[in-house]
Amino acid sequence: MNHPTEEQLILYHYGEVEGRDLIASHLQGCESCRTSYQALQRVLEAVNSMPVPQRSESYGAEVWRQVSGQIVKATAPRRLDFWQLFQWPRWSVAGALALLVLIAFLAGRFWPQRDSTTEPLIAKSTQPISRQARERVLLKEIGDHLERSQLALIELINSKTNGVVDISLEQSLARQLVDVNRLYRQSALRLGDAGMASVLEDLERTLIEISNSPSQLSSTEFAEIRRRIDTDDTLFKVKVVGSQVRAKERETARELAAKRS
Amino acid sequence: MMEESDAALVTRAREGDQDAFRLLVERHSVRLFQLAFRMTSNEQDAEDLVQETFLRAYKQLSRFQSRAGLGTWLYRIAANCSLDLLRRQKRRGDQERAVEFDSEEAFPAILSGAPAPDQQVYHGEVRQKVESAMRELTPMERTAFVLRHFEGQSIEEIGSALGVGPGATKQSIFRAVQKMRRALEPLVNAIP
């Protein structure tokens, strides 16, 4: 096998990697990977030295003393009864209904269209795969991509701002995401889903901007990037479309399971 | 006498038996404190988080499904409380205050038993570096890393606790380890 990446070595350490045996035998035969893995192990062992103050056996009783007063005030937990919905304040019912309408509107707008003349991103397999199964794989991939992008933007926004902000890690991630994003955007355009393509285009612009920024930003430059992400509502749009894609993926999975059974 | 199971205590607590909930608090507080401290590096914050976790848990008891295990469910609530707290602190920019506890005061036995002064200095330095590297993690990275590294939770469990998919969870853990590595490797590898 090729040399495992740093990510694979980390996942290997935590027992979460696929092809564990392959990596284990590679590490036996490859000195440079073994050295790198041993260095990683030393770091993670050092992390275990982080001390945690001890708590005595009576700590639980102390916690109870502190929380019991508030628990007594609270009513005993009850299951929410359907009819209780009608006891909600009117504004919250109206808000929930408005949200449902909004979701329905966006769902109709952003769902991938089923167009038999266009090809999705997934390569054709030698085995016949149903259109629905291919759609599900595509949805899963897009959902993962949107989730990764969303997280990358959240992490960037939350970066520490002590004068200079180092965004080198976020940048390397943004560069990886840009290429994948471009493929999905083109795929969405081919499928005729202008809404999805538009959100992916906004996202791509943001990712490119992050990729091309200097890796050390002054607090003013950083504030500007953050402001643009906020102004364009990129994060919000990615979140909304991401949830829709996930919901559609679940629906497709259910349909596929129903067909199989 | 056999100890009553968590599931049985939850059933009683749901029916309004506060004594049952007291037993659950007493049973799980210490481990929750350890988790909360690793998330926050601050004793007071950790204690507050433990209390908040139990208060939220009590209010949400009807949502608990016994197949998940009460410990896992409480961890999930604690992780979310920690995430909220870390994000609030980050916004306020007061994370610098996070490390306030004195290692020497908290671990007199360990330190007095240290074999040599130079090793003691080295271990102290490593601990400081670990704490400072942990503070550099974003709230999501820190939470995911603590749940994986210290609590041994699976990627799936962590993702489900934090409301993100496995890809994003792996990414958070990966980035956390990368940052820890960047901060600690020079020091750790300096020792033969």
B167 and A54 within 8 Å at the Cβ level: the answer is: no
User: For residue A217, what are the β-bridge partners?
Assistant: A165
Q: Is the pLDDT of residue A236 over 70?
A: yes
Which residue of B lies nearest to A166 if distances are taken between CA atoms? B136
Q: Percentage of residues in chain A with pLDDT exceeding 70?
A: 75
For residues B138 and A108, what is the distance between their CA atoms, to the nearest angstrom?
Answer: 35
- What does the pLDDT read at residue B25? 95
Q: Is residue A128 part of a domain?
A: yes
* Domain region containing A14: 6-46
For residues B87 and B81, what is the distance between their CA atoms, to the nearest angstrom?
Answer: 10
Listed range (A34-43, A63-72, B24-33, B46-55) with the worst mean pLDDT:
A63-72
A60 and B165 within 8 Å at the Cβ level: the answer is: no
Is the same domain home to B69 and B124? no
Task: Provide the CATH number for the domain around residue B3.
Answer: 1.10.1740.10
A59 and B51 within 8 Å at the Cβ level: the answer is: no
Round the average pLDDT of chain A to a whole number and report it: 75
* Selection from B15, B8, B5 nearest residue B62 by Cα: B15
How many domains are there within chain A? Answer: 2
For residues B18 and B113, what is the distance between their CA atoms, to the nearest angstrom?
Answer: 43
B175 and A169 within 8 Å at the Cβ level: the answer is: yes
Is the same domain home to B85 and B148? no
Q: Which of residues 21-80 of B touch A (CB under 8 A)?
A: 21-22, 25-30, 33-34, 37-38, 43, 47, 50-51, 54-55, 58-62
A50 and B131 within 8 Å at the Cβ level: the answer is: yes
How confident is residue A249, by pLDDT bands cut at 50, 70 and 90? confident
Does A140 reach chain B within 8 Å, measured CB to CB? no
CA angle, B165 then B168 then B174, to 5°: 140
Does A166 reach chain B within 8 Å, measured CB to CB? no
Tell me what the mean pLDDT of segment B96-121 comes to.
44
Most confident of A16-30, A118-132, A150-164: A16-30
| Beta-carbon-side half-sphere exposure of residue A19 (alpha carbons within 13 Å) | 12
Number of H helices, E strands in chain A: 10, 2
Is the same domain home to B32 and B96? yes
Q: Is residue A54 part of a domain?
A: no
Last residue of a domain, one of B61, B76, B101: B101
Nearest to A51 among B22, B107, B173 (CB): B107
Give B153-185 as a DSSP string: --HHHHHHHHT--HHHHHHHHHHHHHHHHHHHH
User: For residue A216, what are the β-bridge partners?
Assistant: A166
Round to the nearest angstrom and report the end-to-end CA distance of chain A: 39
How many domains are there within chain B? Answer: 2
Which residue of A lies nearest to B101 if distances are taken between CA atoms? A53
Is the same domain home to A143 and A233? yes
For residues A125 and A115, what is the distance between their CA atoms, to the nearest angstrom?
Answer: 19
DSSP code of residue A79: P
Q: Is residue A163 part of a domain?
A: yes
For residues B34 and B146, what is the distance between their CA atoms, to the nearest angstrom?
Answer: 10
Is the same domain home to B71 and B96? yes
Q: Which of residues 96-125 of A touch B (CB under 8 A)?
A: none
Interface with chain A: mutation pick from B59, B63, B175, B178, highest number of A CBs within 10 Å: B175
Q: Is residue A223 part of a domain?
A: yes
**What distance in Å separates residue B150's CA from the closest CA in chain A?**
8
Last residue of a domain, one of B101, B116, B144: B101
Q: Is residue A165 part of a domain?
A: yes
* Selection from B51, B49, B67, B56 nearest residue B6 by Cα: B67
Tens of pLDDT, residues B17-74: 889 999 999 999 999 999 999 998 889 899 999 999 999 899 888 888 777 788 888 9
A200 by Cβ neighbours in 10 Å (0-12 / 13-18 / 19+) ranks as: buried
Nearest to B51 among A43, A67, A72 (CB): A67
Round to the nearest angstrom and report the end-to-end CA distance of chain B: 52
For residues B40 and A238, what is the distance between their CA atoms, to the nearest angstrom?
Answer: 30
Is the same domain home to B83 and B121? no
Last residue of a domain, one of B85, B101, B117: B101
* Domain region containing B186: 104-192
Q: Is residue A247 part of a domain?
A: yes
Distance of CA A260 to the CA centre of its chain: 29
How confident is residue B186, by pLDDT bands cut at 50, 70 and 90? confident
